[in-house]
Amino acid sequence: MISKLLLILFTFATILFSKNFTVAAYNVENLFDLKNNGTEYSEYIPNTKSSWNSRTYLIKLHNISRVINDLDADVIALQEVESLQALKDLLKYTKKYKYYSFIKNDKSAIGLAVISKFKIINTHKIIVNTQKNYSRPIQKVNIKIDNKDLIIYNNHWPSKRAAENERVEYALALQKYLKNNQNDDDYILLGDFNSNYNEFETFKNDRKLNNTYDYTGINQVLNTSINKQYISKQNIDSFGKIVHYNLWLDIKYQNRFSYKYRGHNNTPDNILLGKKLFDTDDISYINNSFKVFKPNYLYKNNNIQRWVIKGKNRVHKGIGFSDHLPIYAQFGTSKFIENFKAKVTSNNNINISDLYEIENLGKTTLLKNVVVIYRNKRNAIIKQLNNRAIYIYNEASDLALGKVYDLNIEKIKNYHGLKEITKIQTYTFKRNAYDYKSLYTQANSIDILDYNSQNEIITNLKGTYKKGYLYYTYKNKNKKIKLYSKRQTLLPKNGEKINIISGHLSFYKTKAQIIIYKESDFSVN
C-alpha cells in the first residue's frame, strides 16, 4: 500500500515539476536596421525616398515585438532579420527573451535568429552548397530545457522566384547533416521553407517551379511523404530511414495557411518533427497542439495585415506587421505526457465522416453499408445513412448506382482540399438501395459554401448562370458559387436560369464549386 502511494506521489510530482513549453516560427518580413551595408534591398536603404528611417524602423520594431510578446512562445525561430543590431533593437521590446542567436552569410541581405527564454548552449552554421551569392545558411541551435537537450534547425529556403532545384539544395544539405550528426536527438526543423506541406502536389503543373521531375525538397528529400503518402504520427516509427511528420497535418485542411498568395492559402512556414518527439522520453510533442497565431490585428477580413509599402518609390507607410503569420506547437519534458499512439482507435471499421479526420489510412479499412448515389464512368459518390458522402476517384467501375456495399479501402487523398477514396481493395454487395435519390441533399437545407458540406450531391438549387458562376439566394441573401465542368459544352449559356438536379458539391483550394458531369445534372427553366 505504501509503495503504491509513493508511486502515485512520484508520478504527481513528476507531472507537477515537468516543463511544458512552446516553440514558434515567424518570418518577420524584412527587419532591416538603419545602417547602410550595401546588401540592403533598395527600399530598405535608410533615409531615402522610400522613407525607411528612424520613425518607420521604430514602428516596425514595436509592431513585431507586439506579435512576439502576445504569442509568448518560449523559443522563437525568426527569419528575415538583417543584422545582430536589428535583433538587439527588437529585444529591447521583448525582454522575456534573455538568450539569442543570430547568423548570416556575408553576401546575404537577411539572416536568421533564435530567441529563447531557455539557455542557448551553442550555435552552428550549416552551409548550403550553392552558386548563389545571396544564399542563406541553416541555423542550428542547441537549447537546454529542464536539463534536457533540444536542437532547433532554423530554415529560410529560397523564394519561389527560384525553381525547385534551389530548395532541393537546402533540403539535401539539411538531410545530409542530420544523417551525419543526428544521434537519437530531440530536434525540430522549422522556419520558412518556401514550400507548402503538400508541395509535390501544388507545384508539379508549374513549369517554372518544377524543374526536378516532381521531386521536392520538403516532401521527397526531408521525407515528409513516402510514395506520395504523408508520414503520419501513427506510422513514423515504421521507417528505417530519417523521416519527418509535418505538423500542418494536425489541423483541418481549410485552416492550413500562414501566408496568402493571390487569395489562396499557402504554407511556406513549417514545423517538421523527427521520430524522437513522438515517444515519451526526454522531450515529446504534445498531441494536436500545433496552431497558427492569428489575432484580429494580424488577420482580418481574410487578409494578413502585412507591412505596407506603396508607390513608385516603394514608400514605407508605417502600417502593418508581416506577410506571414506565426506558427507554434507545444512540447513537454514529462515521461507521463500522453502517448497518443497507444490511444489511437482501430480504424478497421469506421464511418465516412471519420475519413475526413484522417490524412492516411495506414491499413485496409472497412466502410459498411455505403450507398452509391451517383456514378460517372469510373468515379462515384457514396454515402452512408445519417452520415457523410465521399468521392471515389477512378475505382468505381464495378459499383452500380443505387446498390449498397461494404468496401475495404486502402487509400484516401486530399486532392487540393477535396477528400477522395483512391484505392479499393475489395467490395461486398449487400443489397439494393430503397431510394438512393433520397440521400441527395436539398440545397436550401445547408450552406453549400461551407467546406464541411463537400462531396454531397445537391439538388433543387435554382439560380442564374453568369460567366462561370451560379447566382442564387440562400436565407434571403444573394450568393454565388462556381459551376465547373471538364466539358465546357455541358455548361449553361450565359444568362440562363437553371435548376441543379444532381450537382457534385466540390472544393478546390477551399473554394466551393458545383461539378457538372452530365446533361441530366441540371435543367434550364
Are 312 and 354 in a shared domain?
no
The per-residue pLDDT for 343 is 43
Q: Cβ distance 167 to 217 under 8 Å?
A: yes
In angstroms, the Cα distances linking 222 to 25, 228, 292 are 18, 13, 22
pLDDT band for position 13 (cuts 50, 70, 90): very low
In whole angstroms, what separates CA 350 from the centre of its chain?
A: 25
* Selection from 408, 425, 359, 353 nearest residue 384 by Cα: 353
* End-to-end Cα separation, the chain, in angstroms: 80
Are 388 and 322 in a shared domain?
no
Using the predicted structure, report yes or no on whether residue 341 has a pLDDT greater than 70.
no
Q: Cβ distance 370 to 383 under 8 Å?
A: yes
What CATH code is carried by the domain that includes residue 398?
2.40.50.140
Is 6 inside any structural domain?
no
Instruction: State pLDDT tens for residues 264-298.
Output: 999 999 999 999 999 888 999 999 999 999 999 99
pLDDT band for position 19 (cuts 50, 70, 90): confident
Is 2 inside any structural domain?
no
The per-residue pLDDT for 16 is 43
Is 363 inside any structural domain?
yes
C-alpha cell of 94? 521583448
* Selection from 326, 280, 78, 74 nearest residue 186 by Cα: 280
The per-residue pLDDT for 6 is 43
Using the predicted structure, report yes or no on whether residue 18 has a pLDDT greater than 70.
no
Please count the CA atoms within 13 angstroms of the CA of 380 that sit on its side-chain side.
22
Please give the mean pLDDT across all residues of the chain.
93
The per-residue pLDDT for 183 is 72
Are 122 and 45 in a shared domain?
yes
Are 358 and 317 in a shared domain?
no
Instruction: State pLDDT tens for residues 219-252.
Output: 999 999 999 899 999 899 999 999 999 999 999 9
Using the predicted structure, report yes or no on whether residue 366 has a pLDDT greater than 50.
yes
* Selection from 337, 323, 241 nearest residue 281 by Cα: 337
Is 10 inside any structural domain?
no
Last residue of a domain, one of 306, 337, 368: 337
Are 330 and 432 in a shared domain?
no
pLDDT band for position 91 (cuts 50, 70, 90): very high
Instruction: State pLDDT tens for residues 289-317.
Output: 999 999 999 999 999 999 999 999 999 99
The per-residue pLDDT for 349 is 77
* Selection from 321, 215, 330, 193 nearest residue 266 by Cα: 193
Are 330 and 473 in a shared domain?
no
Q: What is the pTM of this model?
A: 0.91
Other beta carbons within 10 angstroms of residue 221's beta carbon come to 20
Are 55 and 172 in a shared domain?
yes
The per-residue pLDDT for 342 is 42
Q: Cβ distance 411 to 422 under 8 Å?
A: yes
Instruction: State pLDDT tens for residues 380-420.
Output: 999 999 999 999 999 999 999 999 999 999 999 999 999 99
Q: Cβ distance 280 to 335 under 8 Å?
A: yes
Instruction: State pLDDT tens for residues 253-267.
Output: 999 999 999 889 999
The per-residue pLDDT for 360 is 87
What CATH code is carried by the domain that includes residue 215?
3.60.10.10
Sequence-distant (6+) residues with CB within 8 A of 266 are 196, 257, 258, 259, 260
The pairing of strands 187-192 and 148-156 is parallel
The per-residue pLDDT for 433 is 86
Instruction: State pLDDT tens for residues 115-170.
Output: 999 999 999 999 998 877 678 999 999 999 999 999 999 999 999 999 999 999 99
C-alpha cell of 515? 461539378
Are 159 and 193 in a shared domain?
yes
Per the structure, the complete domain to which residue 236 belongs is given by 23-337
Using the predicted structure, report yes or no on whether residue 336 has a pLDDT greater than 60.
no
The per-residue pLDDT for 346 is 47
The per-residue b/e assignment along 245-259, b for 16 or more CB within 10 angstroms, e otherwise, is: bbbbbbeebeebbbb
Q: How many domains does the chain have?
A: 3
The per-residue pLDDT for 100 is 98
Are 444 and 432 in a shared domain?
no
Is 18 inside any structural domain?
no
Are 87 and 181 in a shared domain?
yes
- Is residue 182 exposed (0-12), middle (13-18) or buried (19+ Cβ within 10 Å)? middle
The per-residue pLDDT for 338 is 53
